[in-house]
Amino acid sequence: QACTYPCQCPSQPLQCPAGTSHVLDACGCCKVCARQLGELCSLQKPCDHHKGLYCDFSKIHRGSGICLAHEGATCDLLGKIYHNGESFQPTCKLQCICMDGAIGCIPLCSEDLRLPSPDCPNPRRVKFRNKCCEEWICEEGTEQNRFQTAMAVFREDPAEKPELNNLQENCLVQTTEWSACSKSCGIGISARVTNDNPQCRLEKETRLCMVRPCDFPMEKTKKGKKCVRTLKPRQSLRFEFSGCTSTRSYRPKFCGGCTDGRCCTPYVTSTAEVEFRCPEGDFFQRKMMFIKMCSCHYDCPRDNDIFLATYHRKMIGDHV
């Protein structure tokens, strides 16, 4: 179909299945739900190129093709083989895709945590029949233990009782330390749990992190020293994440290495918002770790890949 300008796109927000990319049509006008492996495709209905899929027009006529994946390794999950680019659901709680031998999954159920609060003194997750995901319910307690249950999170002011419509003012903020970066080089993920939000609800918060670039040249250690603790690139660089690039350039500090078996990891860090621009023209912001100081030690982290540490364990548990 010929493109018409100015662009006319649906006013309703785009609703795509979980794990499906929003991509521009051939006219560069409107975002559409990307076609998946084995589905019919066209210029107006492109394949999900984020997953390495392309539209093959050689087998189907009249302007339509079929989405195929570029050659890549298959994936083996619990004895079942999945092809490169194939999407699947090992359980009702996970939507997964095989990408050149690696399995990536997104949870279909909310993993949020809920602390007691005056309006919900005894929160409890319940599994309902014919529903995959558990849901929160609030059990009513007596007036006497209602605020006692919430004392772990809320300050009790003897002068006046906390107002139900102002939870954040009476919230006792609790935040864990950031976890180690999931990658020893390149962009990874660091996480923490905090209730510093308007609902005073315990939630998982993530930030991007980079301990060092994977292709960063290591500096020679000074005479008498066995470690290069902190490095800084000579030229500014732009961060890349999921095919998108940061809109501005940075000169961040990175952690170096040692010649005596020790490893260098971030010791003091800060967190800042970084804006990314994607090839399709989209913008988004992500929190990112910036290193201020590194520490060299023998307590080296083992395989800390967040993909294996979370989703692999969830898959095993769900099947058991």
Check residue 43 and give its pLDDT.
Answer: 80
User: How would residue 313 be classed by pLDDT, with cut points 50, 70 and 90?
Assistant: very low
Q: Which domains does the chain have, with CATH numbers?
A: 187-217+224-297 (2.10.90)
The pTM of the full predicted model, rounded to 2 decimals, is 0.54
pLDDT digits 0-9 by tens, 194-209: 888 887 878 888 899 9
**Mean per-residue pLDDT, 146-171:** 51
Question: pLDDT: is 158 or 209 the higher one?
Answer: 209
The three state secondary structure string of the chain is CCCCCCCCCCCCCCCCCCCCCEEECCCCCCEEECECCCCEECCCCCECHHHCEEEECCCCCCCCEEEEECCCCCEEECCEEECCCCEEEEECCEEEEEECCEEEEEECCCCCCCCCECCECEEEEECCCCCCCCEEEEECCCHHHHHHHHHHCECCCCCCCCCCCCCCCCECCCECCCCCCCCCCCCEEEEEEECCCCCCCCEEEEEEECCCCCCCCCCCCCCCCCECCEECCCCCECCEECCEEECCCECCCEECCECCCCEEEEEEEEEEEEEEECCCCCEEEEEEEEEEEEEEECCCCCCCCHHHHHHHHHHHHHHC
**Mean per-residue pLDDT, 128-139:** 84
Check residue 278 and give its pLDDT.
Answer: 84
**Mean per-residue pLDDT, 177-189:** 86
Is the pLDDT at 36 greater than 60? The verdict is yes
**Mean per-residue pLDDT, 239-266:** 87
Check residue 273 and give its pLDDT.
Answer: 93
**Mean per-residue pLDDT, 297-309:** 54
User: Which of 168-177, 205-214, 237-246, 260-269 shows the lowest mean pLDDT across its residues?
Assistant: 168-177
